[in-house]
Amino acid sequence: MSFSATEAAFEGFRIVRRNPLAILFWCLAYVIFFVAFFALVGGQLATIIAQAQALEGGDPDMAELQALGMSYATLLGFGLPMGLIVGAVLSAGVARGVLFPADKAFGYLRLGADELRVMVVNIILGIVIGIGSFLLFTAVIFGATLVGQSNQGAGVLTGVLLGLAAIVLLCWISIRLSLAVPITVAEKRIAPFASFAVTKGKALPILGMAVIAGIMSFLVSLLGSIVSLPVVMMTGGGLDQLATMDGLSTMQIVQSAGAGLLAWGVLNAIVSALQLAVLYAPFAAAYRDIKGLPHE
């Protein structure tokens, strides 16, 4: 079967139709992540929200910015490894749902060799994209500064043009690498750059597919916000209420606002699970169709 960008873009909805229980398992994974993360850093999260709100509309000094930065660093220290694990499990599960739809137990979710390989691939790609972005935008700043020494207006124009070129290049690289996770799940190997060969000559259709999926994800998010807003407001306002709980322990916060936070977490888990299907499934479908694999 030939690759159709519009057909692949709607693969997420097909997964939900084939196996509606998958969404429940993905929601559960998000809820478990949220509960575990909050249990570890709930008090720190309240401090960060309070610090961020205190800085709004003001002129923060260096001490306040350093305090906020240290709080974020603590949060990242816990959130990054947990996020890598959950992200690998969920992205591998979505790819499995497209490539091996008969293997649908537990909503296609597993915790094994596939997930470990996907996590390694995600880390490698994150490092590559991060370093590449740093080098590109350093070159942009250097070029704009060099030209601006003789003509400030030309320097600004050079910075804008080079910046746009850097963004286009990063988008192209991201598209060429976008099938790394489906390849890893399908071929049972760590191959972060094998996507370049598979996407050769397919970059524009995959970009169009990604744009369609992105628009649908935005609509899902918008609809989720409309539906969840009344519930969140009735149960305390979600995470914003933590700003008033700075200094309390995680247990004290749970005792005070646990029901509202859980409602916020469940609603966000539902929306996130739907967005997961909408955003990730098309890339697995693109790999399947480009390689001519059967639709099980």
pLDDT at 262: 82
Please give the C-alpha separations between residue 61 and each of 23, 50, 67, 281, in angstroms, as whole numbers.
Answer: 45, 16, 10, 45
Q: For 136-187, what is each residue's pLDDT tens digit? A: 999 999 988 888 888 888 888 888 999 999 999 999 999 999 999 999 999 9
Q: Which two tokens stand for residue 50?
A: 């309070």
CA–CA dist 224, 34 (Å, integer)? 18
Confidence bin at 235 (pLDDT 50/70/90): low
| Coil/strand/helix, residue 247 | coil
pLDDT at residue number 247: 72
Q: Which residues are CB-contacts of 70 (< 8 A; sequence separation ≥ 6)?
A: none
| 269 C-beta neighbours (distance < 10 Å), count | 21
The pTM score is: 0.86
pLDDT digits (tens, 9 = 90+) for 47-63: 777 777 776 666 666 77
Determine the length of the chain. 296
Asked whether the predicted pLDDT for residue 113 surpasses 60, the reply is yes
The Cα 181–Cα 116 span in angstroms is 11
Distance CA(125)–CA(106), nearest Å, equals: 28
Identify which has the larger pLDDT, 282 or 156. 282
Per-residue model confidence (pLDDT) at position 177 = 94
Is residue 1 over pLDDT 60? no
Q: What ranges make up the beta strands (E) of the chain? A: none
Angle, alpha carbons 195-199-202 (nearest 5°): 165
